[in-house]
C-alpha cells in the first residue's frame, strides 16, 4: 500500500508542488501579519478591532470566496483560476505598499489579495481531488500541509527584518513581489489526462452529445449563467448536512477551529509585546508556534499513512492539547513557558486543521463533495471574520488578552464535545444518488 501511494504521489509531483507553494506563502504571510499589528495601529491611527479585522479579512474572505467559487466557477479550468488568483493575491500586497494611505484603502487592497487567495484555494483543492484518489488524498494533503508551517515559521522572521529596514509600506511592497510566485502554482495545475478507455467512451457518445449541444444552442450564454447561479444557490442548501448528519458536526468543529487559529495567529505577537517582550523576541513566539505546527503536520502524515485517523485522533486529542497549552498564556508570563505553550498550540492547531481537511471525504459522499467543500470553506471564512472582529473589539474594551484566549479555551472544549458526538456517529457514508 505504501509503495502504491508513493508511486501515485510521484506521478502528480507537479500538483503536489503547486499546493506547497500556495500554503507556504498564504499561511506564512497571514501569520506574519501579527508582526505588523502594532505598526498598523499607529500608522493608520486606528483601533485594535479594525487592525484585527484587517488581518483576518484576508484569510476569511479567501475562504468565503473559495466556497462561492466551488459552485459558481464550475466548468472553468483550474489552471486559469489559479493563475488569476495568484496574480490578484500578490497585487493586493503591492497596492498596499504603493498606495495604501487610509484604513479604507487597506481594506480594499487586502480584499483584492483575499479574492486572489480564495481563487487559489478553490482551484487547488479541486485539482487535488481530481489528481488524488480517496486513498492518496489525505497523504498528499498532509505532505502539502507540512510546508504551511514552514511558511509560518520562516516568513514572520523575514517580515520582522523587512519591517525594521523598510517600514510598513516597504514590507507590503516586497512581500507582494515575493508572493507573486503563487502564479507559478496556478501554471502547475494541469488538467488530468483522461485514460484511453474514457477517451474511447467519449468518442462512442460523440454523436449523442453533439445532438444535445444543438438542442441547447438557443441562448447558451443565458443557460450557462442560469446554471452557475443555480450552482451558487446550492451553497445555501443544507442537503449535505441533512443527508449526512455527521457532516454537520464536522462543519461546526472545523469552523470553531478556524476561529481559534486566527485569534492565536494574529494576537500572539502583540500579546508578547504587551508583556514587555521586545519585538524581535515576541516574534520568536510565532516561530515556536510554526515549529510546533511543522511537527503537527508530520504526525498527521504518519497517522494518515498508518490509516489510524478517526474522529478522536483528528479532533479530540488536538483540542485537548490546545486547551492545556492556551492555559499557559493565562497563568504564566515568562518567555520560556510562553514559548513552550506556543509550540504545543501550533502543534495542536496545525494537526487538527490538516487532519480535519484530510478526513473530509469520509464524512460526505461523492455526490455532495463539491458542495461540501464549498460549505466548509464558507463557514470557516465566516468564523475567521468573527475571530478578528470579536477579539479586536474585546481588546479595545478590556485591554486584556486573557479574555481573548479564555474564549478560545471554551471553544476548544466545545469542539471536544462535538467531536465525541461525531465519533459516536462515525461509520461508512452512504453514497447518494445523482
pLDDT tens digit string along 193-223? Answer: 654 444 444 444 443 444 344 344 434 444 4
Query: Grid coordinates 497523504 are at which residue?
Result: 139
Nearest to 186 by CA among 70, 91, 84: 84
Quote the CA–CA distance of 306 and 5 in Å, as a whole number: 12
What CA–CA distance (Å, rounded) separates 431 from 250? Answer: 17
Kindly write down the DSSP assignment for every residue of 262-305, as one continuous string.
HHHHHHHHHHHHHTT--HHHHHHHHHHHHHHHHHHHHHHHHHHH
CA dihedral 13, 17, 20, 21 (to 10 degrees): -170
Residue 217 has what pLDDT?
40
pLDDT for residue 340 = 94
Write out the DSSP string of 112-145.
HHHHHHHHHHHHHHHHHHHHS-TTTHHHHHHHHH
State the DSSP H helix or E strand holding residue 368, giving kind and residue range, or none if neither: none
pLDDT for res 193: 62
How far, in whole angstroms, is CA 248 from its chain's centroid? 19
Q: Which of 128, 116, 38, 178 has its CA nearest to residue 373?
A: 128
Where the chain has pLDDT below 70, the residues are 1-11, 30-34, 55, 67, 70-74, 134, 193-242, 427-429, 433-434
Helix/strand number for the chain, H first, E second: 18, 0
Mean pLDDT of the chain: 78
Query: Which set of grid coordinates corresponds to residue 81?
Result: 483560476
Q: How far is CA 83 from the centre of its chain?
A: 18
Q: Which three cell numbers stand for residue 331?
A: 497563568
| Alpha helical stretches, state H, 44-136 | 48-72, 78-99, 103-131
| Cα–Cα nearest to 339, from 376, 293, 286, 388 | 286
Phi, psi (degrees; rounded to nearest 5) at 363: -115, 0
Q: Is residue 235 within 8 Å of 362, Cβ to Cβ?
A: no
Output the CA–CA distances (angstroms, integers) from residue 49 to 52, 65, 391, 404, in the order listed: 5, 23, 7, 12
Cα–Cα distance between 393 and 316 in angstroms, integer? Answer: 29
For the domain spanning 12-191+238-425, the CATH number is 1.20.1250.20
CA-to-CA distance for 225 and 431, rounded, in angstroms? 29
CB 98 within 8 A of CB 173: yes
Domains of the chain, by residue range, sit at 12-191+238-425
Instruction: Tell me the three state secondary structure of residue 234.
Output: helix
pTM score, whole prediction: 0.69
What integer pLDDT is reported at residue 233 of this predicted model?
Answer: 46
Please tell me the distance from the alpha carbon of residue 153 to that of residue 161, in angstroms, as a whole number: 14
Amino acid at each position: 500500500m505504501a509503495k502504491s501511494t508513493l508511486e501515485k504521489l510521484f506521478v502528480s509531483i507537479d500538483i503536489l508542488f503547486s499546493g506547497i507553494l500556495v500554503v507556504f506563502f498564504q499561511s506564512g504571510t497571514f501569520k506574519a501579519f501579527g508582526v505588523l499589528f502594532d505598526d498598523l495601529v499607529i500608522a493608520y491611527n486606528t483601533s485594535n478591532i479594525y487592525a484585527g479585522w484587517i488581518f483576518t479579512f484576508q484569510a476569511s474572505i479567501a475562504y468565503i470566496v473559495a466556497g462561492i467559487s466551488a459552485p459558481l466557477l464550475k466548468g472553468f479550468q483550474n489552471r486559469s483560476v489559479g493563475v488569476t488568483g495568484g496574480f490578484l493575491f500578490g497585487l493586493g500586497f503591492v497596492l498596499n505598499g504603493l498606495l495604501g494611505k487610509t484604513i479604507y484603502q487597506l481594506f480594499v487592497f487586502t480584499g483584492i489579495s483575499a479574492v486572489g487567495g480564495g481563487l487559489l484555494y478553490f482551484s487547488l483543492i479541486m485539482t487535488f481531488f481530481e489528481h488524488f484518489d480517496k486513498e492518496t488524498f489525505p497523504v498528499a494533503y498532509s505532505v502539502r500541509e507540512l510546508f504551511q508551517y514552514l511558511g509560518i515559521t520562516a516568513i514572520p522572521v523575514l517580515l520582522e527584518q523587512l519591517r525594521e529596514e523598510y517600514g510598513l509600506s516597504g514590507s507590503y511592497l516586497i512581500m507582494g513581489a515575493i508572493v507573486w510566485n503563487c502564479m507559478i502554482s496556478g501554471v502547475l495545475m494541469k488538467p488530468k489526462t483522461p485514460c484511453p478507455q474514457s477517451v474511447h467512451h467519449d468518442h462512442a457518445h460523440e454523436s449523442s452529445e453533439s445532438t444535445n449541444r444543438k438542442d441547447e444552442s438557443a441562448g447558451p450564454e443565458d443557460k450557462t449563467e442560469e446554471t452557475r447561479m443555480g450552482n451558487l444557490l446550492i451553497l445555501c442548501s443544507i442537503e449535505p448536512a441533512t443527508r449526512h448528519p455527521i457532516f454537520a458536526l464536522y462543519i461546526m468543529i472545523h469552523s470553531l477551529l478556524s476561529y481559534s487559529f486566527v485569534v492565536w495567529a494574529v494576537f500572539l505577537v502583540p500579546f508578547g509585546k504587551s508583556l514587555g517582550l521586545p519585538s524581535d523576541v515576541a516574534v520568536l513566539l510565532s516561530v515556536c508556534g510554526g515549529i510546533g505546527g511543522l511537527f503537527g503536520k508530520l504526525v498527521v502524515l504518519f497517522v494518515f499513512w498508518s490509516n489510524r485517523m478517526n474522529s478522536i485522533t483528528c479532533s479530540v486529542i488536538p483540542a485537548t492539547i490546545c486547551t492545556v497549552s492556551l492555559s499557559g498564556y493565562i497563568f504564566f508570563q515568562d518567555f520560556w513557558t510562553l514559548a513552550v505553550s506556543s509550540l504545543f498550540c501550533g502543534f495542536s492547531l496545525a494537526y487538527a486543521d490538516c487532519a480535519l481537511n484530510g478526513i473530509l471525504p469520509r464524512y460526505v459522499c461523492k455526490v455532495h463533495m463539491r458542495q461540501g467543500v464549498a460549505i466548509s470553506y464558507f463557514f470557516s471564512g465566516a468564523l475567521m471574520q468573527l475571530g478578528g472582529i470579536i477579539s479586536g473589539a474585546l481588546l479595545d474594551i478590556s485591554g486584556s488578552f486573557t479574555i481573548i484566549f479564555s474564549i478560545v479555551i471554551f471553544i476548544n472544549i466545545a469542539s471536544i464535545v462535538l467531536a465525541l458526538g461525531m465519533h459516536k456517529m462515525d461509520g461508512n457514508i452512504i453514497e447518494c444518488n445523482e
